[in-house]
Structure 1
Amino acid sequence: MASEVSTSTTASTGSGDGLADRYASALYSYADETHALDAVVAEMEGLGRLIDASADFRRLLASPLIDVKTATQASQAVLQQEGFGKTVRDFVGVVATNRRLRELREIVHAFATLVAHRRGIITAHVVSAHPLNDVQRQQLRARLIEAGYGNVNIHERVDADLLGGLVVRVGARLYDTSLKSRLQRLQYAMKGAA
């Protein structure tokens, strides 16, 4: 696997989303060919959670001061300890060898996006003033289904600046029912009337 991924990624010199997309696509193809896709999808979700939860691991990934060999060994030790399978460990090894550990979180996100796209899952990015409870989550999912979004994955984020309500982004569509937005519209209307 290491040679397959590295050949498809080292030829490119781009960075950002294009690079993350290429790594994600290479991993997806390899996992699909080896009939390990479901396991790799679950482990990549776990890797995203690990990166988000561990400040030490994020520092390891982001540090430009750690040489490639040390960074590779350290990341492999963490993944081994956390119980990740060979495919994901090898993949992260290739990412480390190619000096792209700094982009690993982006690659994990690109992989999740690719999986969702291939499986026909639409992601709704929901920002709320307070964490949603289960009832609110179910009501939101029902409303999205009514709006024509059948298989929806809800990605939640809390932003207290909204004051109340929700901001939902599905693809290019934005549904903004936040109190902050309503107050801004009222303020603009009052300025126009004056």
Structure 2
Amino acid sequence: MTADTHAEDARFAAEFSPDVTAERIAAVYAEAFLDVAQAAGEAESLVLELEEMVREVLDPWPDFESLLASSIISHEEKSQILRRVFGGRVNPRVLDFLLVLSRRGRLDCLRVIVRAVREEWIRRRNEIRVRVRTAVALKAEVALELERTLESLLGRRPIMEQRVEPDLLGGIVIEVGNTVFDASVAVQLERVRKQIIDRSAHEIQSRRDRFRYSE
């Protein structure tokens, strides 16, 4: 099995079946990183820089990720590599964080830790991820109304991740973590749901009209 395959398997495991222990470890490091970042007044930029590192370095270079995760390579060797690759290219606090992870043998959890940093930053900003699946794309004004409704219900500002599923029954499904909004909040969401259904009907009628006129 190649190094690329190992790295891909590791990413798949971290994304879809994260180890509970790794998640707990990641949460501790995420809190420590953000404590320092917030004290320096650079939290948002440092979080973005960590995520950019994953996208621009780890994603295209799986062999490099495998090298960092390897238990065979010593911390001294890894620290030299980290300084050579990232020195002068990333914020010194990001580099220091990577060196700490190397010294403590946690670079194998780097992706999980970066994700935990983002989630902890969302929590500290009193925000919450919300997945919204709808039969048709939401108009801007409808999305804004939905966001306000959810903020009132949840007590936190929702970060909405929208996905269109044309075959979706009922027009809308809202997920917060492992919770799916059901009839208990249907009354508060009914107006938004009706707008989505009305738009679906309008689009269907528009298609029929176009077909009729083209005959």
Q: Do they superpose with TM above 0.5?
A: yes
Are residues 1:75 and 2:78 paired?
A: no
- Report the TM-score when normalising by structure 2: 0.57
Show CA shifts across 1:22-71 (max 9, x none).
Answer: 11111111112222223312212323323344323322233233222222
Are residues 1:143 and 2:146 paired?
A: yes
2:69 alignment partner AA: A
Please give the residue correspondences for 1:12-51 in structure 2 after superposition, counting only pairs within 5 Å: 15-50=21-56, 51=58
Candidates 110, 117, 127, aligned match of 2:116: 110
Q: Distance in 2 between matches of 1:63 and 1:17?
A: 19
2:87 alignment partner AA: Q
Q: Distance in 1 between matches of 2:73 and 2:107?
A: 11
Percent identical pairs in the alignment equals 26
CA shift for structure 1 position 17: 1.8
Q: Distance in 2 between matches of 1:73 and 1:157?
A: 43
Q: Distance in 2 between matches of 1:108 and 1:76?
A: 19
Residue in structure 2 matched with residue 171 of structure 1 by the alignment: 177
Q: Distance in 2 between matches of 1:75 and 1:111?
A: 20
Candidates 86, 94, 107, aligned match of 1:101: 107
Q: Which has the larger radius of gyration?
A: 2
Q: What residue ranges of structure 2 are gaps of 5+ in the alignment?
A: 1-19, 183-215
CA shift for structure 1 position 94: 0.5
- Report the TM-score when normalising by structure 1: 0.62
2:84 alignment partner AA: A
Candidates 65, 69, 88, aligned match of 1:62: 69
3-state SS, counterpart of residue 72 of structure 2:
coil
Q: What residue ranges of structure 1 are gaps of 5+ in the alignment?
A: 1-13, 177-194
When the two structures are aligned, how many residues end up with a matched partner?
A: 155
Equivalent pair of 2:147/2:160 in contact (CA under 8 Å): no
Are residues 1:91 and 2:94 paired?
A: no
1:118 alignment partner AA: R
